[in-house]
Chain A
């Protein structure tokens, strides 16, 4: 206060920027406080806890504790499911988006497909598991139909909804729509001029795709793959509602650990969660990096 009166009299100009600067920052203080308290600090707590002993000193034994066969197996099957559902989601989503954008289908399909994708990509969690149990479960619609009408017994073929493929197929229900939502704008960005230029220069359709369109789309495709991977890796509710605890994947293991310390070591839980952040963090870093690259062409 005293500085204000002292500086105010001789010249208001130099005093003003000094006074205004902190006030500007006050405006985002509530947001900064909220994000710090309920997003950054809780995450930091996990990261730091992963490198702490119960009495607070630095250790690597928690993280080293992850390298036991059962936990490694959980990570491995999580990564496999996430990767399989991401790859298939990318391929099928791309095929559907390409069919609508480039396949010469009536343009009226496009709006409803994007709307439906918005709904389906949000229809995850517990109800999604129920929907698939009612469809591909032991007495589900498709299972019963195949058995009674076509004589195909899915169980004899080794299919079980509570398995790797069951979970992968279920995850596709939110992976494919996400892919459609992300890749449609990218396909729109393929300029007609590029195709025309290629065909004037004598390129066949296959050459155009291999040498022009595909390289331009590649960063978007790989980026979305990384995003879908992270999306599946963090999914908890669908897996729990679908399989209970019969499938040993990381989110289920962590859920059980938080509920009742099944690993017998609270700090191993921190390490488990830290591992999840590392995996999804890497996947998202790849996504962000590749998206920046793809935006060079697709404006």
Chain B
């Protein structure tokens, strides 16, 4: 009896999740009247705006990941090594982007870094690119910091540092050649989440007027019928691939540690 209820709850729940996925896939294949075809996908892939916005977002995602790694790994390492009493505060700060809506943060950017301010980032094309990367880095901070901090927990930071120092290594060597290789898996799982977030992000890119994938999807959705469904399938594929890879990577980490 109990098991019956459990199955019922699970199946009804899963139905809710599967129907939209089936719905969008089905709709994306119906562009040609009366039969299934990949016409909508062909239309999307033939659109030069798709290529431009998609590659722009990929670049933004990669820059965000690189910047995020440079920002988070040394900080998380340093806090663990030298300022452990700061950890709760730093963790609280890194969770703030989940509390303050992205639209509020980007509103603040627009007002704080406008053309008449001391740091006129919104005044130039490259400036808004930089601002967008910083914005994305802020949005991914909760995930990146948590991933790296968890990774650092599994290694003995103090001993590794002292060993490296006694062999004459400087701080750059320690972080770049000792700490970073040891938390690669954590960094990668943070990177995949960041990639998924950046590829689908709409609000910041739209309000900073950048040609990113999110605003492109929204624009297409307002004007077309079948192509948006194809885009939704593609976007779901990206999200799935990113988080699937993340799971795979974290499994790879566990296996070599056990035999030792």
Q: Which residues of A contact B (CB under 8 A)?
A: 24-25, 27-28, 30-31, 34-35, 37-39, 41-46, 49, 92, 95-96, 98-100, 102-105, 109, 113, 115-116, 118-120, 122-136, 140-142, 172-173, 176, 230, 233-234, 236-237, 240-241, 244, 251, 254-255, 258-259, 269-270, 273, 276-277, 280-281, 284
Contacts and interface: CB of A to CB of B under 8 A. Distances in A.
Contacts of B228: 130, 133-134
B111 A49 contact: yes
A173 B221 CA distance: 19
A95 B203 CA distance: 33
Nearest to A133: B228
Interface of B: 2-3, 5-7, 9-10, 13, 16-17, 19-24, 26-28, 71-72, 74-75, 78-79, 82-83, 86, 90, 93, 96-112, 134-135, 137-138, 141, 193, 196-197, 200-203, 206-207, 214, 217-218, 221-222, 228-229, 231-232, 235-236, 239-240, 243-244, 247
B103 A234 contact: yes
A28 B214 contact: no
Contacts of A176: 13, 16-17
A233 B102 CA distance: 11
Given A45-B108, A141-B26, A27 B83 contact: yes
Contact of B23 (A27, A30, A42, A135): A135
Nearest to B171: A27
Contact of B105 (A43, A98, A123): A43
Given A123-B236, A127-B232, A236-B102, A141 B19 contact: yes
A272 to B, nearest CB: 9
Interface SS of B by simple majority: helix
B201 A125 contact: yes
Contact of A96 (B3, B9, B138): B9
A142 B103 CA distance: 33
Contacts of A255: 103, 203, 206-207
Given A122-B200, A241-B218, 5 more contacts: A45-B111, A119-B239, A141-B23, A237-B201, A277-B100
Contacts of B193: 122
B139 to A, nearest CB: 10
B115 to A, nearest CB: 15
B191 to A, nearest CB: 14
26 contacts: A27-B78, A34-B137, A38-B109, A39-B96, A42-B105, A45-B111, A46-B111, A99-B6, A103-B3, A113-B10, A125-B202, A125-B214, A130-B24, A131-B236, A133-B221, A140-B23, A142-B19, A176-B17, A236-B101, A251-B101, A251-B103, A254-B107, A255-B207, A276-B103, A277-B101, A284-B98
Interface SS of A by simple majority: helix
Given A127-B235, A140-B23, A141-B19, A105 B10 contact: yes
